Amino acid sequence: MNSPPPRPVLSVLSDAEREVLRLRVVAGLSAEQVATLLGCSPEAVHIRQHRALEVLRNELIARGDSSEDDC
């Protein structure tokens, strides 16, 4: 019996968290630019980004994908 494929790690994020990471990390926009696009404050962008990265970190640790000891 085959087990289902693992779900993508980004699926643990909310749409808002994924969008902030996409704009900040992939597109390389500043927090101010992202805030303007999303209609929120730069502080809200920083908070969403921080929370999203924490969620991803915890998910990777839970999956056993952490490489903290490899630094």
5-64 pLDDT tens trace: 777 888 999 999 999 999 999 999 999 999 999 999 999 999 999 999 999 999 999 988
2: pLDDT confidence band, cut at 50, 70 and 90? confident
Rounded CA separation 11/49 (Å): 15
Residue-level pLDDT at 34: 98
Given a cut of 60, is residue 71 above it in pLDDT?
no
Which residues 6+ apart lie within 8 Å of 52 measured at CB?
Answer: 13, 17, 18, 20, 21
Given a cut of 90, is residue 67 above it in pLDDT?
no
Q: What are the structural domains, with CATH classification, of the chain?
A: 13-63 (1.10.10.10)
